[in-house]
Structures are given as C-alpha cells and as structure tokens.
Amino acid sequence: MGLLESIRTFMSPVPLEQRDTSPAPTMAQQLAALRSKPRPWRAPSITEALGVPAIQRAVTLISNTTGSLSIGTYRKDVELPDTPTVITRPDPYATPDEFYRDLAYYLATRGEYVLWIAGRSSAGQPTALVVVPAPELNVEHNARNRLFPIYTWGPRDGNLQRGTRFGPANPAGEFIHVTYLREPGALRGIGPLQMAGAASSVSVEAQEWAANFYASGGYPSILLRSAVQLTEDEAGALKAQWVGTPSNMPRITDPGIEEVKEINVNPQGAQMLDSREHQNGEAARMFGIPGSLMEYGSPGSSLTYQNLSEVWTQFVRGCLTPNYLVKIEQSLSDILPRGTRVEFDVDGLLRADIKTRYEVYASGIAAGVIDPEYAQRAEGIPPGTIEKPEPAAAPEPVPVAAPLDVEDTSPEEEVPQSRSLAVRCDGAWRRRDGSEVPCGKLLAERGPFIGTCSRCRTVHEAPPAVVSPVEMAIIAFMSREQPAPVITVNLPETPVAPPPGATVTRLEYDEAGRIVGIAEAS
C-alpha cells in the first residue's frame, strides 16, 4: 500500500453501522473485570492488612492523631466562645476522641464512613451522631430517585434503621455518608487499601512467609545423603543416631552414608528482610505519610534537627488535612446553622522548635507586627495552655432507638425529681389541630434561663430575687419619700408681753401651718 492510499484510508470516515457506540467502562466495571481475571495473588482482608506493622502504623497514626485534635466552630472567621454539643460530644455513648478517631479509621481502612443522626432538636437540627459499623451497613439504589440512595443499618436485635442521605438539599435524611474517593455514580467509597490491593497483598504475603519460616522449625541444620535406599525404619534409626548424639561430640559415619552437608541458614534472606523493608516505604507512599514517621529511610535521605518539625508539617498538609480533616469538617459543618463552620486545631502539630519560635517572635516584635503579649499567649505563658483541651461537655439526651418518621408534636414529659434544677418552658404551645397544651420545652439543664423558647416563642426574663420579709421592710422604708418634719406649737390664748428691751424670737408659718423659719425682733 502506497503512502497516498494509507492517508486516504486513514482519513476516510467509518460507516455508522461499523462504529463502536458502547459507553466506556467505569472505574467500578474495570475493577470488577480485573478481579474476575485469574491472578496468582489474592486481595487481603482489612484484618490481614493491619497485621503488617507498616500498614498498622500508618492507620493508627492517622486515626489517633485525628482523635487527639481539638475542634471549634467559626462564624465569619471568628471563633465562637461556645461550641455546640453536637460537635464537642457528637456521640452520647463515646468520648470525642473515640468518635473522631473512628471516622479517620474508617476512611483509612475502608475509604468511607457513615453517621446515623440519632437525635434532633425541635427545630430539626441534629443533636446526636452515631458511627455506623461498616459491616452492618447496606446501601442500595433508590428506584424512585437515584439521587437519594437507601441506607439500611441492621437488622441488629430486630432494630432496623432505614433512611436516605442527609445534606443541605435533603435535611430530613438520616445518614451522613463521606467517602475518601468514589467513582462517580458508585454507592460506596474506596480507600488506600482497596486501590493498592497488589501492594497490600505483597506486604501480607511477605509477612506470612516470615512467620511460616519459624512456624515449622525453619530449615534443617544438617543434610544426610545415604548411598543406598533406606526404609522408613532405617531412616528413623539413622536420624535418631545423629540427633541423639550430644553436642560438640565426634560422630562416626559408615559406608552407607555418602555425604553429610551442613546447611547455614541466612535469616535475613529467609525472612526477606530487604523486601519487607521496601514494603514499609510502599505503605508510606500508599497513605501519603513521610517516611521518617514510618521508621523508613529512603536511600540518600537525612533527618536533622533543623528539618524535624517540617516532617509533621508535611504530614499535616500532605496527608491528614486534605484526605481526612477537611472531609470531617465539611460533613459536620452541614449540620450546623448556615454560616457556621467546623475546623480542627492543628497548631500544636505545626509548631516549630522553641529556638525557631523565639527568633520569629523577636523579629515580629522588632518589626511591630506583634507585641510581647501576643508571643506570651502563643507560648502559653499566661494561665492556661496553647493546646486547647476538648471541653468536658455533657452529652445530649439519649437518642431514640430509631429515627422518627414524623415530627414529634407531643409535649415533653414531666421533669423527673432527680432533675429538679432543670428549667422547662411554662408557656402555651398551639398544636396543628388548634389546641393549646403546656410547652414543657427543656430550656436549661440548670437554671436560671433567660431568653426565648424555640418552640412556643415565649420570652423568659430573669426571675425575681428572693428577699426575706425583714429585708423587704428595710428596703421599703429606705426607698420611701421622706416628708419634711412637722412641728406643732400650742400658743397661749393671752400673749405675754416681753420686758422692755428684750429680743423677741418669732416663728414664721406657711399656709399649711408648718414652721418654715425663725425671725428675731427687738
């Protein structure tokens, strides 16, 4: 075929009936096709993968570091003084450390986590969250609306939770679903262990090879080769003769033994130490963790005092924040009122060494950018600490056993005797049918309460102070208007004439007969 014919064939259009119009396979279909092909390696389970020290180190470093961070709420870049309880203690049955640790653990091992909204306020805002165990969760397509898959948790002891996904477009949803990565259109997420299945398999198989090396005693130390064919009994007697001889004693061979070979075992090669050390680096790359935090040193790298703090900065910025913290922050910000966001405090992880910090403070103070008080607060010199501890917030009321299908319009129960300090609204609340019932909304765990009830909009002012009767009498006496003193003078009927030359003092009266002054005359 000449050049001209080749160009003509290349440029000629393909008939429509001969074109391949089938859609390109998705990532999920490609993964399914790869799994269906016969392979010499198998995909390990999550439990098997966590048996590798490198993978276990990566997962625990990510999850426990996330659980140790404090968290706060911000509005217009200003930190709110009081963080909502649903953020400081989302799960009434677990500590904040366990809750946030489990979220990062599920993202690292399974590539997703799902939260069940266990309780809501009267305004519909979530007040309690529970981490759904991954093996008990089922997600399926919704035939009526593919945008809202159906989540089913259970059955567990006959208690089945079922609902759709929560979000700003669907505030009535019962489940919050966050993924590490997900193929568009797929229902479940995938994580590092699922995407790097071959690397995980190599790590697991190398680990099991090393364990099996010593499980059956390892290699034999001596190899005996017989010149003649031996029966099983003769081989056993020969073995007993060589094994039963005391150590460091001479042994005598007979013409039936052709060769005695001593086997020197190389533990480093038998356990594939070099290969397993390489897998430590593979695990660090898999999760995006600096090698120094995984006790892995790549050839040619060095770690000095000056760049030690940069390792944690690289871990926070390259692994923890984009893959875990941001996903948790955005999912929790959706359950708060508009304009309020959630943010982890990572300043403690990004702090440089003390020498570098003091040099930066000195430069900032000399340039007028900061003052000494700011440096003292940053170093925790005033009372307190720069590491903000998780506030000891009391959990919200115990969540219900199942999500409510309709709005709860019944008044709340009577105040128990053990919670007599709690304050409940005493206003009237109108139901949808027009009838009025006592509101009974819980306003505060401990009184007093000043504000507006979110249910019936009754305004509660500060309660009057309790004053004893004696104090009330004193207050009334001191606050009453004090009138001018009244002096009554009874004059004789016949006035007495003063002696000659005497000074006469006269009292002056007003129209009401009260004394208003004194006048003297000679």
List, as one string, the DSSP characters of 405-462: SS---SPPPPPPGGGTT-EE--SEEE-TTS-EEE---EEESSS---EE-TTT--EE-P
Q: Is the pLDDT of residue 108 over 90?
A: yes
Confidence of residue 243 (pLDDT cuts 50, 70, 90): low
Say yes or no to pLDDT of 102 above 90: yes
pLDDT for residue 1 is more than 70: no
Residue pointed to by tokens 């680990």: 207
For residues 139-150, give the mean pLDDT. 89
Return the higher-pLDDT residue of 102 and 501.
102
- Tell whether the model's pLDDT for residue 397 goes beyond 90: no
pLDDT at 103: 96
Between these two residues, 6 and 243, which has the higher pLDDT value? 243
Mapped onto helix, strand or coil, the DSSP state of residue 163 is strand
Q: Is the pLDDT of residue 372 over 90?
A: no
Q: Which residues are CB-contacts of 155 (< 8 A; sequence separation ≥ 6)?
A: none
Predicted local confidence at residue 179, as pLDDT: 94
> In angstroms, what CA-CA distances link 156 with 170, 181, 402?
26, 28, 12
The letter for the amino acid at 27 is M
Band the pLDDT of 306: cuts 50, 70, 90. very low
Average pLDDT over residues 246-252: 60
- What average pLDDT does this structure show over 149-161? 76
- Could you tell me which of 227, 228, 230 has the C-alpha nearest to residue 259? 227
| Unique residue bearing structure tokens 């819980």 | 442
pLDDT of residue 464: 56
Compute the residue count for the chain.
522
In this predicted structure, what is the pLDDT of residue 233? 79
- Average pLDDT (108-121) is 93
Judge whether residue 500 has pLDDT over 90.
no
Q: If we measure between CA atoms, which residue out of 320, 346, 329, 350 comes closest to residue 108?
A: 320
d(CA 397, CA 391) in angstroms, rounded, equals: 18
Task: Residue 34: count other Cβ atoms within 10 Å of its Cβ.
Answer: 11
Q: What share of the chain is helix, strand, coil (3-state, %, to 5)?
A: 35, 20, 45
Query: In this predicted structure, which of 31-35, 75-79, 442-446 has the lowest mean pLDDT?
Result: 31-35
User: Which pLDDT does position 410 carry in this prediction?
Assistant: 44
pLDDT at 385 over 80: no
Residue spans of the domains in the chain: they are 30-217+268-298+317-344, 220-245+255-264, 346-387, 484-521
DSSP state of 291: G
What is the rounded distance in angstroms from the CA atom of residue 244 to the CA atom of residue 241? 5
Residue 60, pLDDT above cutoff 90? yes
Report the pLDDT value the prediction gives residue 511, as an integer from 0 to 100. 75
Judge whether residue 239 has pLDDT over 90. Answer: no
Would you say residue 445 has pLDDT above 50? Answer: yes
Residue 357 pLDDT exceeds 50:
yes
Q: What average pLDDT does this structure show over 356-373?
A: 89
- Read off the pLDDT of each residue in 260-281 and give the average, rounded to a whole number: 64
State the Cα torsion 510-513-514-520 to the nearest 10°: 70
Q: Which of 200, 158, 169, 150 is nearest to 48 (CA)?
A: 200
State residue 116's pLDDT score: 93
pLDDT at 413: 41
pLDDT computed for residue 403 by the predictor: 41
pLDDT at 176 over 70: yes
More confident residue, 202 or 478: 202
Residue 89 has pLDDT above 60, yes or no: yes
pLDDT of residue 7 exceeding 60, the answer is no
pLDDT tier at 42, thresholds 50, 70, 90: confident
The yes-or-no verdict on residue 383 having pLDDT over 60 is: no
Residue pair 352/346 in contact (Cβ under 8 Å)? The answer is no
179 vs 16, which has greater pLDDT?
179
More confident residue, 242 or 74: 74
| Percent above pLDDT 90 for the chain | 22
Give the type of residue at 213: F
Give the separation between CA 291 and CA 277, rounded to whole angstroms.
11
Q: What is the pLDDT of residues 460-499, one digit of tens each?
A: 776 555 555 655 666 565 555 555 555 555 555 555 666 6
Looking at residue 71, the DSSP 8-state letter turns out to be E
The rounded distance, in Å, linking the Cα atoms of 293 and 311 is: 8
Q: Which amino acid is at 469?
A: P
What average pLDDT score do residues 59-63 get? 95
Beta bridge partners of 116: 130, 175
Q: What is the pLDDT of residue 409?
A: 43
Torsion of CA 207, 210, 214, 220, to 10 degrees: 160
User: Are 294 and 311 in contact, with CB atoms under 8 Å apart?
Assistant: no
The Cα–Cα gap between 239 and 255 comes to: 16
Question: 83 vs 176, 189, 252, CA distance in Å?
Answer: 20, 30, 84
Cis before 448 (ω within 30): yes
41 vs 57, which has greater pLDDT?
57
Which helix (H) or strand (E) segment is 113 a member of?
Answer: strand 112-120
- Average predicted confidence (pLDDT) for the chain: 75
